[in-house]
Structure 1
């Protein structure tokens, strides 16, 4: 008598993937994308700064305990969820290719942060190490490649936030660290709460880590409030910011360079008439935007004459944004101090020119993918000197447009004596996108970081005047000719952030490196320990 053995069907109902199990595979990738998108929503023009906290809490849940490869992939998805919508303006006039390429490259830094956060997530006090890793990745993104691209630093979404005073303590790195730490801490607190519900007990160490991850940044922000001071240490100055507007949107606005110049001349003359009639106060100085004269006034006598006439009409020093075109060599994006009696008396050449905008790296290679690179027919060169103009006795620090995103470019002006900062900008290339609001938020953070009034004259909007506490006291509408005239406080004292410079960022990088080193040592020890 023989027995028949019936093999078990491996594809039977007990082992076959169910629709639910299939969907579970997409939960963490979906959460990673959502965390990045929530971070995007926390940025201006939306006043939703607090969304950065659930964004980091969700990212913490997504990455905690993951393998390094999974951390990298999930981090990359978070980066795309954040940067694709944040940077969509970069394709406003040149198509989707440059936008997608930029977001894809910059998301690699978020992917690296995801890998690092996954690595440190099993450590005690992991939220502190994870926040340090995030800031380390931001620091790298702000420096490489091509001088870096710090747009989208977490700090730049916090101009209306609870943590903003921390910018005066340690600049954008400390502000961003506090936001990330609080978000990770909220997730850890939730995780410990669930553990308590399940077991009735929570170890004191992990509970303290969760509590302090939330309490330290909140308490620090409250303690830093006295640093946010908008009193007038050195008196006040009445400043005028001119927004002349451009004839049309897009890359071809420069085709009507004379119209742009004439617009700014006309607004300045209108201001002079309003002052004469007593409708506006006499400004101490006037600020024009970047590219307000794309006709070189040194090479074109007609441009120089109309500028000189407008400056003489208003009767005070005026800063002109010009493109200077030497016969040989590279172009210069230059700010010119124009005196009503002596004409041009000082210049500042933009020190951090924009790659793929003001100059084209790897031109022949990039042309393969996008012929728009040839619109930049002649590259701009970078200046070397820090920009501080003495305008009627007020020392005004100069950071031209893109430079406002770089910590060093703004700080240099304050350490060289600036009592007020101006950020002349040209956003006409990016249409009615969110770019101008994102850049304005940077200037608000810089105001608190260095305790200085900040004036942002823009060709097409939004121009604004900001007090040292980050409050906007006057602003224009997009693509609307206008002039802002306001009395602002002047200050000369330096905040801890100004005095410390890159030291806080370096210390946070050391924290991140310590966490990564500890996690690596634990992993090596675990591999060498034989299984029981």
Structure 2
């Protein structure tokens, strides 16, 4: 009986460790904890006693992490929240099994292998769960470093994936230095490698030259908050836009779903938007979320001038269960128990850039800001700046606001392009190409803001090489699995004596 209580107590402790790791992310933003927050879990996994127990502990830890980090989505899931937490917890089980196998009998060689294999397992799992139909790249460990200058510069080399790889490797080295029973040379190998990796990351960020500034763009944002009714929402945006007249901006941006009426079917709305752009003296980017004559609903960016619509962009990546229901013929009944939409939005099919006063502006819409590949694709199209139109009215007042805003710092460094996020309701923000904050507008703010954004074009290694870190990680994981399946483990992995 005592053994059972101890076992379950340690599983609950693993859950607490996972929950504490979530504090490294916004809104708590204890970014430094990501460098050591996995160490207690790795020690629990190393001393699990069996692979089965390691699986249990990693599952409990993942549940604690995801429930804490994404607690704001649980009410939205309704009766499915418990099931969702259980399923998402499975993504850490392979990591738990690998950690137990590599750290239970620590030696210098095994530690170095663990510092290569465990980050690979972690990044592979992150890449797989970032598939657009599974909710996107929320909660990736590397995103916790969005304010950690100069470590954030590592994202320019391999994206958020390399940041995650680095953090897990450092945690593994520190854990190896603390594993009970390990001899001095094992502790030195783990601790020394961890310090060397952290120092290399900081050194790269400090020595990286500043980008060449090619100009600047003055961006004005309109943040109305939640305004019920499409007519009232448009009126609120127009009223605030009039306040921006004469402020010498290049573009005015409204948030996602700011226009709930189709201008093609409402000439009066079209005229009001044209007039607003003309009176403001700059281009106007609005976001139309309305049913068109064919009955489809598409979330689209409309670029208005005083002459009318110049260009449009239709949202490509739709939020599952937020903007569409996957496999609706089978899962459509979920809408009766959650806030899922009654009608699926229609998706666009291409990235685009908008010409705003000679500057190439790349538009993205809300959920799309979570995907590094889209930002990389826009950089390859020659974009000078990314402007994201967002809206988090469903998760008003939650951690989701600062988490989405934090994405933009990492995306800016990955792509080598500045980024601006304008929320209808949420945290609006702007960052330069190095991820330095230029503006931070809290979710409770109602009004306008103007930010001067320095422009720079830099082809980062991540833009050139793409997702090489997940590919490399997957190859390492496959190689490790093949060794295990064939029973051809290297000698340093077969030894039983602690070292």
TM over 0.5: yes
What is the Cα deviation at residue 219 of structure 1?
Answer: 1.3
1:368 is displaced (CA, Å) by 4.4
Q: TM-score, normalised by structure 2?
A: 0.90
- Per-residue CA deviations over 1:168-194 (Å, capped at 9, x if unaligned) read 1110110111111111111112227x6
Q: CA deviation at 1:143?
A: 1.8
- Structure 1 residue runs of 5 or longer lacking an equivalent are 1-16, 248-252, 276-280
Aligned equivalent of 1:244? 224
Structure 2 CA distance for partners of 1:221 and 1:112, relative to 1, 3 Å: same
Partner residue, 2:22 = 40
Contact 2:322 2:340 in 1 (8 A): no
**Correspondence 1:235 to 2:223:** no
Deviations 1:399-456 (A, max 9, x none): 2111111121221111111111111101111111110111011111112222222111
Aligned counterpart for 1:224 among listed residues 159, 184, 205: 205
* Structure 2 counterpart of 1:359: 324
In the other structure, the counterpart of 2:413 is 448
Structure 2 matches for 1:173-192, cutoff 5 A?
Answer: 173-191=161-179
The alpha-carbon deviation at position 27 of structure 1 amounts to 4.5
Q: Could you tell me whether the CA contact under 8 Å between 1:388 and 1:418 is conserved in 2?
A: yes
Please list, as runs of the form range in 1=range in 2, the aligned pairs for 1:354-433 lying within 5 A after superposition: 354-363=319-328, 365-368=330-333, 371-372=336-337, 376-433=341-398
SS at match of 2:439: strand
Q: What pairs with 1:117-132 in structure 2 (closer than 5 Å)? A: 117-121=99-103, 123-125=110-112, 126-132=114-120
SS of residue in 2 equivalent to 1:399: strand
Q: Is the contact between residue 212 and residue 457 of structure 2 (CA under 8 Å) also seen in structure 1?
A: no
Of the two, which has the highest radius of gyration?
1
Aligned-partner Cα distance in 1 for 2:129–2:47? 25
**Cα pair 2:335 2:342 within 8 Å, conserved:** no
What is aligned with 1:322?
288
SS in 2 for 1:423: strand
CA RMSD of aligned residues (A): 2.6
Structure 1 pair 386–421 and aligned structure 2 pair: CA distance change class (3 A) = same
Q: Are 1:490 and 2:477 counterparts?
A: no
Q: Aligned partners of 2:172 and 2:489: how far apart in 1?
A: 26
With over 3 angstroms needed to count, the CA separation of the structure-2 counterparts of 1:211 and 1:234, relative to structure 1, is same
Q: 1:64 aligns with which of 29, 39, 46?
A: 46
Q: CA deviation at 1:291?
A: 0.8
Deviates more, 1:504-513 or 1:258-267: 504-513
How far the C-alpha of 1:64 sits from its partner, in A, is: 2.3
Q: Please list, as runs of the form range in 1=range in 2, the aligned pairs for 1:85-164 lying within 5 A after superposition.
A: 85-92=68-75, 94=76, 96-121=78-103, 123-125=110-112, 126-143=114-131, 146=133, 148-161=135-148, 163-164=151-152
Q: Which residue of 2 aligns with 1:77?
A: 60
Structure 2: gaps spanning 5 or more residues: none
In structure 2, the CA distance between the partners of 1:98 and 1:470, relative to structure 1 (3 Å rule), is farther
Cα distance between partner residues in 1 of 2:339 and 2:16: 37
Alpha-carbon distance in structure 2 between the residues aligned to 1:291 and 1:387: 19
- 1:268 matched residue in structure 2: 241
Relative distance call for 1:310 and 1:226 in structure 2 (3 A) is farther
Aligned partners of 1:53 and 1:183 also within 8 Å: yes
Name the SS of the counterpart of 2:321 in structure 1: coil
Does the CA-based 8 Å contact 2:35-2:171 persist in structure 1? yes
* Structure-to-structure mapping, 1:50-61, within 5 angstroms: 50-61=32-43
Residue 182 (structure 2) aligned to one of 170, 192, 195: 195
